[in-house]
Amino acid sequence: MLTIIGLGNPGKTYEKTRHNAGFILLDGIMEGRFIEELKFHQTGLDNIKSFFGTRRKFKKTSGPFKSIAGELSGKRVLFVKPTTYMNESGRAFVSLKTRGIIKDISEVLVVVDDVDFDLGTIKLRQSGSAGGHNGLKSIINHLGTNKFLRLRIGVGPRPNGSEMVDYVLSAFRPEEYEIFEKSLHTAAKVVEAWIKGGFAGAQNVL
């Protein structure tokens, strides 16, 4: 199954922060704001709730992640948000592999914020170092490889060293969020293209 994992920190405190760009994109996709063709797999009760205007929700599992399943162009997709803090994101990967959900790393796309890219920039990479990102570092450590596809959403410019934590855990200013929102639409197009046509298809968007 194709698996898209958005990185972020759980809890309301971090909901709108730069470090939660991965969560924010997946939430927008789940809410139907970005990929119109995507159909979510819901129970009868879920459908009733949606009819009455209740938002879809990522469902908690017994593992360290929440997920929601969908389908696009005949392909099954699982959207995943780790329930650990960012620096333990790799635990979700281990659980997904143990459960047999992730069988081939080529079927995984990780969505992550990146302070090395200016706000509004989107980059797609098939491999690479963590670049100081604790979420990617955790995944690499748990998987034992850096060869997995990641969609990087720019939230920079990178601040000076001692200011890094405060910066990534701060919320976007209103004028910044307008730029960020536009980048989310582009990122969602990349996600949609990847689901339909793999890495080659996703590259054509950028």
Choose, from 19, 41, 133, 185, the residue flagged as catalytic: 19
133 included as an active-site residue: no
Q: Are 7 and 148 in contact (CB under 8 A)?
A: no
How many Å apart are CA 54 and CA 74, to the nearest integer?
A: 26
How many helices and strands (H and E) does the chain possess? 6, 8
Which residues make Cβ contacts (< 8 Å) with residue 65, sequence separation at least 6? 5, 80, 81, 82, 83, 92, 95, 96
Question: Phi first, then psi: what are they for 79, rounded to 5°?
Answer: -100, 130
Instruction: Please give the positions annotated as active site.
Output: 19
